[in-house]
Amino acid sequence: MPNHDFIVGLEVNPDFTWNEKGIVLNGIKVTPHASIDDELISYISDTLDWIKGWYPNGAYEKGLDRYGYTIIKEEENIRKFKDIIISWRNLFINGPEVIILTGNYGWEIESTKGYYEKNVFKKKDIIDQLSNLLTVIEKAINTKNYVIHCGI
């Protein structure tokens, strides 16, 4: 499954690479690092539109650039991002051990019958992913850096 990766930095035009150890920015392994499943990002994406970030084309847009990178610079947006992720994590903490999230709408082959995907997650995996993201966000706040999001 594709993932969205999050790191802390002050890069305006980041030069990312990925390897088996994680994200490398300008030749240096970046920590902390959070990786969030694309299907989970899709599920919470409406609430992520409440934050604003800088896109590769220089535009200041709401939400995360799904396929490129997004830089969340302003402390107000970073703090709002943190509050949103805390709220989702707290909600999922109260869920069952196996969580089924409604995904994209699709159609059966050679049919007009449609259906919503059902994405299955272990609760622990969701909580771990969101907790790792909170670590990244908190470091950005504490060090007065940006949150850099790398889309799929």
* Contact indicator for 122, 97 with CB cutoff of 8 Å: yes
- Which residue is it, tokens 């994200």? 23
- 3-47 pLDDT, tens digit per residue, is 999 999 886 656 667 666 667 767 777 778 899 999 999 999 999
- 81-98 pLDDT, tens digit per residue, is 999 999 999 999 999 999
- 51-76 pLDDT, tens digit per residue, is 999 988 888 999 999 988 899 999 99
DSSP characters for 12-64?
Answer: SS--EEEETTEEEETTEE-SS-EEEEHHHHHHHHHHHTTSEEE-TTS-EEES-
Instruction: State the number of CA atoms in the 13 A half-sphere of 10 facing the CB.
Output: 3
E strand or H helix at 112: none
